Amino acid sequence: MIFREEAMKADLKDRKALRIQRRWIESTEDFFHLKSEWKRLLSRIPGHTIFLTWEWMYTWWEAYHRRFKEARLRILTYYLANELVGILPYYIYTDTAGPFSLRKAAFLGSRIESSDYLDVIVPEALQSYFQQHLLEDIRTLAEGVDLIEINNCLADSLVFRVWGQQQNGTAFVERYRVCPYVHLPESFEAYLKGLSSNFRYNVRRRLRKLLQKENARVELLEDWRRLDEAIKDIFDLHYLRARQKGLNTKFVRELRLGFHQKAARALAPEGYIKIFNMFSAEGHKIAGMYCFDYDNVLAYFQAGFDPRWSNRSPGTVILAEAIHYAIRQGKGIFDFMRGGEQYKKDWGTSDRYIYLITIPNSWKGRLFLSYYRSRKRLAPVVKKIIHSTQ
């Protein structure tokens, strides 16, 4: 049966006539076989992100689930007339937090990797139905669990609309990370005019110096046979730059490299991966930038550059070229993703936030949440005391 929004809206007029079946996906094999249905559903939902794709979530589960204690899948799927119409992509694991050992339920993709903008996967026509039933369904999904975590969700997500206002003891809502982004105009020149005069001058000067005077070039990777190599180069360049600045970065861990190579191989055929490489006139790779291209957005995930070229600002140049590319492609948003670094503000970003919602689901969960809230309240006081004694 082919899913049609019109038919669904008609069914929604009569709630009693709507027959949605719930099915559990609890094995990796069943998760694998859900691929085509998942992709078909997601293709009918505008505005989705790469982190809700089957390719990202399945690869994440394969790569990382063994790193969690007693991890098991707990994906809840919804069918209407044998057509997949909703997915609540969760897993369950055991975690140690302070003096507590807790059984937790969380979104797939919400640990180790920076999977932002998570949500229940559901078409617009069924949002009101899910809003009525999601509380009950998440509780059912989390049977035997101490804490339910609703991770990395935006304020306009369905899960936030259901849980985000319930701060009366049933849920603890935290603003977790800032995710800066830019609304893109119709031309790169118009975009530059919106930046501060000083920064605009520096961007233009650096573009002229590196690309025109020194004949460096920025290329978009087109030969996907070199994708693994390109991802590894970005990891290596990122590590070199972090070491130069004395930064501790978890992005370079070997296991994460394998994950990103595998995820990129799965996503590249869909057109979701963009790799920008910068080369010197002699062919030396100066910088690399790893982006996600989905819907109306180009999202900057990670980059690196050769520290020997620092005085030419290759990071600024490759970022400017990526934004220019996004504008030429008619994208509406360039997403800097999580992290409130100052350099992102220089590019004229606006801020939005992802949230973490923690819901106790047992006496142990309630006790932990009370402990956690107390620590959060005391943390600024402790920090102030330590600072005053230094």
User: Which residues touch 145 (CB under 8 Å, ≥6 apart)?
Assistant: 92, 103, 104, 105, 361, 362, 365
Interstrand relation of 147-154 and 100-107 (parallel, antiparallel or unpaired): parallel
Question: Are 5-178+353-385 and 181-346 equal in CATH topology?
Answer: yes
Domain-wise residue ranges, the chain:
5-178+353-385, 181-346
**Fold of the 181-346 domain:** Aminopeptidase (3.40.630)
Q: Tokens 């070491």 belong to which residue?
A: 243
Is the domain covering 5-178+353-385 a CATH 3.30.390.30 domain?
A: no
Q: How confident is the model at residue 374, as a pLDDT?
A: 84
Neighbours of 146 (CB within 10 A): 24
User: Which residues touch 110 (CB under 8 Å, ≥6 apart)?
Assistant: 118, 149, 151, 152
Pairwise CA distance, residues 189 & 333, whole Å? 16
- In Å, what is the CA distance from 194 to each residue of 77, 109, 184, 201, 288? 45, 35, 10, 12, 26
User: Which residues touch 215 (CB under 8 Å, ≥6 apart)?
Assistant: 280, 281
Pairwise CA distance, residues 115 & 120, whole Å? 14
Q: How confident is the model at residue 101, as a pLDDT?
A: 93
DSSP strands (E only) in the chain: 20-25, 69-73, 75-80, 83-88, 90-97, 100-107, 147-154, 172-178, 181-183, 217-220, 273-279, 285-294, 297-305, 333-335, 353-360
Backbone phi, psi, residue 30, to 5°? -65, -35
pTM attached to this predicted model: 0.89
Neighbours of 119 (CB within 10 A): 24
Short-list 143, 199, 154, 219, CA closest to 353: 154
> In tens digits, what is the pLDDT along the chain, a chain of 390 residues?
344 444 444 444 444 456 889 999 999 999 999 999 999 999 988 878 999 999 999 999 999 999 999 999 999 999 998 999 999 999 999 999 878 899 999 999 999 988 999 999 999 889 888 888 888 899 899 999 999 999 999 999 999 998 887 655 578 999 999 999 999 999 999 999 999 999 999 999 999 999 999 999 999 999 999 999 999 999 998 887 666 665 556 555 556 899 999 999 999 998 999 999 999 999 999 999 999 999 899 999 999 999 889 889 999 999 999 999 999 999 999 999 999 999 999 999 999 999 999 999 999 999 999 888 888 777 565 455 555 555
Structure tokens at 217: 């070039």
Structure tokens at 95: 């975690």
Q: Tokens 């990796």 belong to which residue?
A: 28
